[in-house]
Chains A and B, each alone.
Chain A
C-alpha cells in the first residue's frame, strides 16, 4: 500500500479499519506463544509492516502526521521499538528495545521543542529505571525461566485491544489536528514564540514566577529556558499537592521494601537463635 496513493483515498475510515485488523492479526502472530512456527512469524512481520504503512497513510490523510524527516524518523523508531518490545522473546532484548522506544519518544519531544521533558525522559526512564530493570533481568537468568513466564497471557485479546485502541487514538487525534484548535490550547510554533517573547515580557504572573526562578537567564535566553521555569512553577505551584503525594508514596514504597528486606534478615537471626 503506497502512502502517497492512500492520501487520495476517499474513505480513510476503511483504510483505518483494515490497518487495525492487520495490526491485531500481526500482533497475535508475533506475540510469544507456546506454538510458534517460522512461517507464522514471517506472516506476522509482513502484516505488521502493512499495518504500519496503513496507519501512516491514515494519519496523513487525516492531517495528523507532519512532513519533518527528523520527526518521522524518531517517531518510527519509537513505534517500531515499542512493537519489538512486546514481541521479543528474550527479556534482556525486550528491555533494550524498550530503551530504544524511550529514546525515540525523547527524540519526538526534542523535535517538538520540549527540551526538558525530552531529556528528563532519558534521565529518569532510560537512565535509571531501565538500568535497574536490566540489572535484575541479567541476575535472574532469563534462560532458566518457567515456560508460563515466557509466553504472553491472552495474546488474542491483548492484540485486539491494543490495535483497536491505537485505531481510536489515530482517529481522534487526526480529527483534533484536522479541526482548528480552540484558542486556549493552540500552541505557538517555535518561531512565533521567539518573535513574541520580548513583547509578552511585562507584568503577567507567569513572567513573575519565571524571573523568580531564573534570575540570571533573563534576556539572553530563548523562550525554552523560561519553559523550564514555567514547568517548575506549575509543578511546585498549582500541582504542589500532587507532587508531594507522589513523593510520600515513593517514600512509603522505599520504607516498605526496606521492611521486606530486613524481615528476611530477622528470620535469619531467628534461625541462628534456634540453632544456639
Chain B
C-alpha cells in the first residue's frame, strides 16, 4: 500500500489550506470593512484605534479583527442548563462545515500555467474538486444543509427567541431556494453545463456576461441570494429588535463565533456565485483574454479581477444593509412566492426560447444581428415583467382593518362590549378577524 499521498492529493490539500486560510482571514477583515462602511454611512468614525499591540501605532484600526477574535475566543463558553446538549453543540459545527464545504466546488480563479509536476493535470485549475461535474448542484445541496445548523441551533436552545428565529429562517431559506434555483437554471441552460468553471469559460468566450444576456435572472438570483445569506433587508432570522439574537441567542464564546463566521461565509459564497454566474467570473474585456493557455501574469491578473469583482459585490451587500429597512415576514413571503417565483419562470421561459431558436435566428439574420436580438429579447421580458410586478404590486399589503360591521351601529358595539366583559378571554370572532 502506498502511504505517500499522490501529487494530486497534495495539490488538493494545498488548495484547501489556501482557501480556508484565505476565507477565514477575509471574513475577519470583511467584518472590519462592514463596520467601516456602517460608520461611513452613519457619518461617524468607526473602529480606527487598534493597531500593532503594545505600541501606539494605530494603522487605521487594522488590528481590530485580531482583537475581536481573541476577545470572542477567550470569552466564557457558557451552556445554559435548559438546552438539548447534543444538538446545541452540533449545530454550529454543522453550519460551519457545510458553508466551508461549499467552496470545494467553487473556482477561485482561472487556471495556473502548466507547472510540469508529474501526476498533476495541466493546466492546474483554481478549484479544489476539479472532478466534480455537478458543481452548481453541490453548492445548492450544501447551502440547503446549512439550514440544519440554523434550525437545530434554534430548537436545541430551548428558548422562544431562538426557536422563532430558527423557524423563520428555515421558512425563508426554503422559500427563497426556489427563485434562486430558477435564476440559476437560466445560466445552466445557456452554458449547457453544471460546472462553474465551464460557465465562466462560456462567458469569457462569448464576451457577453449573463447579467447582460439574462437581466431578469440576474435580478431574481441577486435578491434570492440576499435572502439566502440572511442579510438585510432579509435578516428576519435574527432581527435584533424582535428576537434578541434570533437562533443564536443562547450561544456565546467560540460557538457564537462559528455561527457568525458561517453567516459571513454565506455572504462570501453568494458574492462568488453572483460574480461567477452572472458577472463573467475572471473575465474582463480586453484584459484577461479568454483562452485556457495563459502565462503567469495573466493567471494572476484573472485571480485579481475575480477577487476584485467579489469584493465589489460584497461592498454592495454592505451598502444595501444600511440602505433598506427590514421586510415584515408576510412581505418577505409575498415577495418570494408572488414576485420572484413568477419573474424567475418568465426568465427561464425567455432563455429557453432564445436558446432553442438561436440557430434559426443566426441562419435567418446573420450572426451579429441574431445575437443582438438574443440579448434584446430578455431585456424586453425583463422590462415587461418588472412593469407587471410593479403595477400589480402583489407584495404590497393593505393594513386597514377589515370591518365586518357598520362601526356606527352603536347597539351592536354595546352588546359586543358587554359580552367581552362577561367573558374577557373569549375574543370575539369579529375582533379576531379584523387585521
Q: Which residues of A contact B (CB under 8 A)?
A: 92, 96, 99, 115-116, 119-120, 122-123, 126-128, 131-132, 134-135, 138-139, 213-217, 220-222, 224-225, 227-228, 268-269, 271-272, 275-276
Contact = CB atoms under 8 A, between A and B. Distances in A.
Given A131-B148, A216-B193, A272 B198 contact: no
B174 A272 contact: no
B155 A224 contact: no
Nearest to A130: B148
B192 A222 contact: no
24 contacts: A115-B132, A116-B133, A116-B137, A119-B140, A122-B142, A123-B144, A126-B144, A127-B140, A127-B144, A131-B144, A131-B151, A132-B174, A134-B170, A135-B170, A138-B151, A216-B192, A216-B193, A216-B202, A217-B192, A217-B198, A228-B194, A268-B433, A269-B433, A276-B430
A126 B145 contact: yes
If over half of A's interface residues share one DSSP class (helix, strand or loop), that class is named, otherwise mixed; here it is helix
A225 B193 contact: yes
A213 B428 CA distance: 60
Given A131-B148, A131-B174, A214-B193, A275 B428 contact: yes
B192 A131 contact: no
Contacts of A222: 131, 133
A271 B163 CA distance: 33
A272 B170 contact: no
Contacts of A126: 141, 144-145
Most chain B beta-carbon neighbours within 10 Å: one of A115, A128, A222: A115
A131 B433 CA distance: 31
B397 interface: no
A135 B87 CA distance: 15
Contacts of B170: 131, 134-135
A139 B193 contact: no
Nearest to A226: B133
A123 B132 contact: no
> For the side of the interface on B, what is the size category?
35 or more
A122 B174 CA distance: 14
Nearest to A274: B429
Given A116-B134, A123-B137, A128 B144 contact: yes
Interface string B114-131: 000000000000000001
A131 B192 CA distance: 30
Contacts of B193: 214, 216-217, 221, 225
Contacts of A122: 141-142, 144-145
Contacts of B151: 131, 134-135, 138
B152 interface: yes
B430 A127 contact: no
A271 B430 CA distance: 9
B171 interface: yes
Contacts of A275: 428-430
B283 to A, nearest CB: 15
A216 B191 contact: yes
A100 to B, nearest CB: 11
A272 B404 contact: yes
A90 to B, nearest CB: 9
Interface in B155-170: 155, 163, 166-167, 170
Given A214-B192, A216-B192, A135 B145 contact: no
Given A123-B144, A135-B167, A220-B198, 8 more contacts: A92-B87, A96-B87, A123-B141, A127-B140, A131-B174, A228-B133, A271-B429, A272-B429
B131 A131 contact: no
A190 to B, nearest CB: 10
A194 to B, nearest CB: 11
A76 to B, nearest CB: 19
B299 to A, nearest CB: 18
Contacts of A139: 167
Interface in B87-138: 87, 131-134, 137-138
Contacts of A132: 174
Contacts of A138: 151, 155, 163, 166-167
Nearest to B150: A131
A232 B143 CA distance: 24
Contacts of B428: 275
A225 B429 contact: no
Contacts of B202: 216
Nearest to A273: B404
B145 A225 contact: no
Nearest to A106: B141
Interface in B175-191: 177, 191
A123 B140 contact: yes
A132 B151 CA distance: 11
B309 interface: no
Contacts of B171: 135
B167 A128 contact: no
A276 B140 contact: no
